[in-house]
Structure 1
Amino acid sequence: MSMKPPSYYVPPQSSWPIVGAVALFLVAVGAGLTVQTMEEGGAANVFGKVILTAGFIFLLYMLAGWFSNVVSESMSGLYSKQLSRSFRQGMSWFIFSEVMFFGAFFGALFYARMISVPWLGGSGNNEMTHEVLWPAFEAIWPLTLTPAGDTTLAMSWQGIPLTNTIILLISSVTLHLAHTSLEKNRRMALIVWLEITIVLAAFFLYYQGVEYIHAYQDLGLTLQSGVYGNTFFLLTGFHGLHVCLGTLFLIVLLFRIAKDHFTPKDHFAFQAGSWYWHFVDVVWLCLFVFVYVL
């Protein structure tokens, strides 16, 4: 008796990875040009913003097209149980890569605070180096004085940062309630809890924009504010970008729920979105402690 080999769907060749690579390249180049010419203004700044906008448009186009293909294949019954396990492994490795991504930035923050700053302050028998490089340097964190003599103010953990922390913690709870409602086949509760999560995500992004305006206009805290300004905006900025992507992910899930794409036993896409959102929440908690509080 012959045994039928297990089926494993192999998708056809796709141009979406190339489109995504071009989009990310344009985003990187556009962001770099925009930051470099932010103080100068003029045509150079406009050119950077145009490239940055084009990059985001290409990125959204790629996400929409690729999501559409995957949803179509899934609803056509092409995915086997083994492919579902591959999706879980792929999402797990993706989140692990994101952990390494943020780990690099937290590592840079740790190195600056725990090694570079004390070293410049003369610790470890480096008194002579301290006198040569920066005699007036004080080994304190955050560094509110740059080598050029400019001063800034540190961002307090109270106010908007604390509010955003509470918002993300609540959103994690509401998303868990949505997931529980899906497993119990409570459709209305699922939709309501997911919508609340999306609204909370929008509030987080809004308040982060308000925080950046406050930093630039009131505190003098910019990307040019030495290592403190660099680490602050890189960590919070990349986290904000991940919140944007996570919010888009949740919105796509909401549309799919409206079309009855999920069942209590088959809803890995929702699980993947939930994993990603909880990961973003955990990163923010670490960021709030090490960037704002300590």
Structure 2
Amino acid sequence: MASASGYYLPHQARWPIIGSIGLTLFLGGFGAMLIGSGAGPFFMVLGLLTVLGMMAGWFGEVINEGLNGLYDAQVERSFRWGMIWFIASEVMFFAAFFGSLFYVRMYAVPWLGGEGTTGVGAFTHLLWPDYAPEWPTNGPAHIGGEFEPMEPWGLPALNTLILLSSGATVTWAHWGLLKNDRSQFVKGLIATIALGFLFVGFQAYEYYHAYTEMGLTLGAGIYGSTFFMLTGFHGFHVTIGTIFLAVVLLRALRGHFDAEHHFAFEAAAWYWHFVDVVWLGLFIFVYWL
């Protein structure tokens, strides 16, 4: 374990191999489902349950080791750097989707409309002479079907207010913890969690409205696919972040944190602020512009 004079080496753990098995089952089951295998959903569920069990067991072990004082300052730094690199990987994940949206809007759509005298744009007008290179688009020959684009100033604007408010409440909770005001800390966490679930609920309603009344689906051309990929993955991250904060709340109610030792909460707060920033980009570039 940790020592004052040596480099920290984690003890042997069974959790990594269990997590690998769970991910293999989950992805294998997903692939089998895509090719029509009846066993696919079973292995997907089995893999998901294995991964969730791994997470509960591994996180619980780390929590107990921390509470028992087995981690020194170096281990604390390793946790912080691990969370920083994790969020950096998430930045790259969303950057890829924002990049695809930029490429489609700024290059692919104009080319399909015949822009450019060389390369792709020189020939596409022969294939689709009536195509209007406007965004949002349902593609040449209306391959994406008829749909209505999502307007920004309804539920999306309300969800923006909700998520920005949740950023304020989690910061308020942090202030309470730093001054050892457990009541403020817990109230701030409860408010943030409630706002997170409210955001997800409104987004689910937005999706239902899009599918049932607007004709806006994943198959609605490149606009539909980029809209649901970006907002859907963000909604998934909000859900994960809300669960993260809920676990922190349960630990807070058991008195696990104080002004000096609360990295688990800080990690959740970092993640939550990251989710806030991503949503601002989504609101501007997916809904508004």
- Whether TM exceeds 0.5 here: the answer is yes
Partner of 1:75: 67
CA displacement, residues 196-224 of structure 1 (integer Å, 9 cap, x when unaligned): 10011111111111111111111111111
1:199 to 194, 202, 209: 194
Partner of 1:259: 254
> Aligned partners of 2:32 and 2:129: how far apart in 1?
34
2:125 to 96, 118, 131: 131
Is the alpha carbon distance of 1:272 and 1:149 closer, same or farther for their aligned partners in structure 2, counting shifts above 3 Å? closer
Partner of 1:41: none
Is the alpha carbon distance of 1:244 and 1:76 closer, same or farther for their aligned partners in structure 2, counting shifts above 3 Å? same
Match status 1:220 vs 2:254: no
Match status 1:95 vs 2:94: no
8 Å contact from structure 1 (residues 154, 221) kept in 2: yes
Code of the residue aligned with 1:115 in structure 2: it is: Y
Deviation at 1:67, TM superposition (A): 1.2
Code of the residue aligned with 1:77 in structure 2: it is: G
Is the alpha carbon distance of 1:5 and 1:271 closer, same or farther for their aligned partners in structure 2, counting shifts above 3 Å? closer
The alignment yields a C-alpha RMSD, in angstroms, of: 2.3
CA displacement, residues 224-261 of structure 1 (integer Å, 9 cap, x when unaligned): 11211111111111111111111111011111111111
> Aligned partners of 1:24 and 1:213: how far apart in 2?
30
Partner of 2:134: 140
CA displacement, residues 126-149 of structure 1 (integer Å, 9 cap, x when unaligned): 554122332221111111346436
1:240 to 224, 232, 235: 235
Code of the residue aligned with 1:119 in structure 2: it is: W
> Aligned partners of 1:30 and 1:155: how far apart in 2?
34
Code of the residue aligned with 1:135 in structure 2: it is: P
Match status 1:15 vs 2:14: yes
Deviation at 1:57, TM superposition (A): 2.7
Deviation at 1:183, TM superposition (A): 0.2
> Aligned partners of 2:145 and 2:199: how far apart in 1?
30
Partner of 1:164: 159
Partner of 1:275: 270
Code of the residue aligned with 1:12 in structure 2: it is: H
> Aligned partners of 1:195 and 1:137: how far apart in 2?
51
Secondary structure at the aligned position of 1:216 is classed as helix
Code of the residue aligned with 1:141 in structure 2: it is: W
Deviation at 1:46, TM superposition (A): 7.5
TM-score (norm: length of structure 1): 0.88
Moved more, 82-91 or 106-115: 82-91
Unaligned runs of 5+ in 1: 38-43
Partner of 1:40: none
Partner of 1:115: 107
